[in-house]
């Protein structure tokens, strides 16, 4: 089954047989990666390669390098897998032309917690390094606070993460703070790993069909997305905490909460259970402001009160950019 754009945007076609693979890989700029000797049933677990093939039994097989995400054939009983540049742009709903190989997240599938370390290693995510966990949302934020969010991400989070050679871990979808950090990383030219963690049934991704209506697209500027079991929003929450822990190892980590909804209470609680400090950005609305109010003694949501009582919670006004930087940088510094 082809992506919808397959027959609409094709610029040209390549006729590929097994014997031509090595030559094409070396000479054709539109070929990102060629993998042979691969079981076609495992295609969804291979980065850069989509599900489906134009005609797996045919040889030679036509592949469109502009309109198709990838394809494979089995001439002579041998499986050939070809991945084409640009699937992330199709994933984001745009054109597939002009994407560099690094401009799309590498997909990593994990089914059990003990598999996380090996999966991260296979995706070349170096471990035992500082981690910033970014949680929350952007619902209810007015334009002025959205601008402050952009300033904090661009002028605080991105530089501090780069200085500490850290990794950012978030939900990976194209919305709210996850979209904002992806764009901030892209516009500043930063190169730190940006790792999303998403429940497979809640997102639109190559290799699987979302199980819910309104499934989210992945944010295209993330370097990696770890796809974990789940079909409901919030199923990713325990996995996000686990992935952050595995990446950090013995290195320091911190969670930063912007705004947020119901799931953010679980995200913050799981960070606290891991012994991870949490910086709550007051003035960003919803969950963050409820926790900030509870920290001043105001009665309200009992979940916020329990969280605010933790010694690992630090509330910082988003308007105080210098204080935000000090809190984040301090938490990511070696202790």
Inter-residue long-range contacts of 326-329, CB under 8 Å, 24+ positions, other chains counted:
327/279, 328/132, 328/156, 328/157, 328/160, 328/254, 328/256, 328/279, 329/160, 329/163, 329/164
Pair (156, 269) in one structural domain: yes
**pTM for the predicted model, two decimal places:** 0.71
Pair (296, 203) in one structural domain: yes
pLDDT digits 0-9 by tens, 147-160: 888 889 999 999 99
Task: Determine, yes or no, domain membership for 281.
Answer: yes
The backbone torsions φ and ψ at residue 142, rounded to the nearest 5 degrees and listed phi first, read: -80, 175
Cα diameter, the chain: 72
What pLDDT score was predicted for residue 300? 82
Pair (42, 160) in one structural domain: no
Final residue of a domain: which of 100, 127, 157? 100
What is the extent of the structural domain holding 256? 109-331
Final residue of a domain: which of 79, 100, 121? 100
What pLDDT score was predicted for residue 138? 67
Pair (125, 57) in one structural domain: no
pLDDT digits 0-9 by tens, 100-137: 444 579 999 999 999 999 999 999 999 999 999 999 98
Pair (91, 132) in one structural domain: no
Task: Determine, yes or no, domain membership for 221.
Answer: yes
What pLDDT score was predicted for residue 148? 84
Pair (134, 183) in one structural domain: yes
Pair (231, 125) in one structural domain: yes
Pair (185, 238) in one structural domain: yes
What pLDDT score was predicted for residue 10? 23
Residue ranges of the chain with per-residue pLDDT less than 50:
1-102
Task: Determine, yes or no, domain membership for 2.
Answer: no
- The continuous run of DSSP H or E covering 239 comes out as helix 237-248
């Amino acid at each position: 089954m082809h992506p919808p754009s397959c027959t609409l945007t094709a610029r040209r076609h390549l006729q590929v047989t097994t014997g031509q693979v090595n030559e094409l890989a070396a000479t054709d700029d539109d070929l990102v990666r060629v993998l042979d000797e691969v079981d076609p049933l495992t295609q969804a677990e291979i980065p850069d390669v989509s599900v489906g093939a134009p005609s797996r039994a045919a040889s030679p097989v036509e592949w469109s390098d502009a309109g198709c995400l990838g394809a494979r054939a089995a001439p002579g009983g041998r499986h050939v897998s070809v991945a084409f540049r640009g699937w992330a742009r199709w994933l984001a709903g745009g054109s597939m032309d002009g994407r560099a190989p690094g401009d799309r997240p590498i997909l990593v599938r994990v089914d059990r917690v003990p598999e996380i370390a090996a999966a991260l290693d296979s995706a070349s995510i170096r471990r035992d390094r500082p981690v910033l966990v970014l949680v929350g949302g952007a619902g209810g934020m007015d334009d002025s606070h959205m601008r402050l969010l952009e300033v904090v991400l661009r002028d605080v989070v991105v530089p501090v993460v780069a200085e500490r050679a850290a990794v950012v871990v978030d939900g990976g979808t194209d919305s709210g703070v996850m979209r904002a950090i992806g764009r901030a990383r892209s516009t500043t030219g930063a190169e730190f790993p940006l790792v999303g963690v998403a429940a497979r049934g809640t997102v639109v991704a190559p290799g699987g069909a979302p199980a819910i209506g309104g499934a989210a697209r992945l944010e295209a500027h993330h370097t990696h997305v770890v796809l974990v079991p789940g079909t409901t929003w919030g199923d990713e929450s325990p996995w996000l905490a686990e992935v952050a822990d595995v990446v950090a190892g013995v290195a320091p980590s911190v969670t930063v909460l912007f705004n947020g909804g119901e799931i953010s209470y679980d995200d913050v609680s799981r960070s606290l259970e891991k012994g991870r400090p949490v910086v709550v950005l007051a003035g960003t609305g919803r969950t963050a402001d409820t926790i900030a109010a509870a920290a001043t003694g105001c009665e309200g949501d009992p979940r916020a009160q329990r969280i605010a009582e933790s010694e690992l919670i630090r509330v910082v006004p988003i308007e105080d950019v210098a204080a935000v930087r000090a809190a984040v940088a301090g938490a990511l510094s070696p202790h």
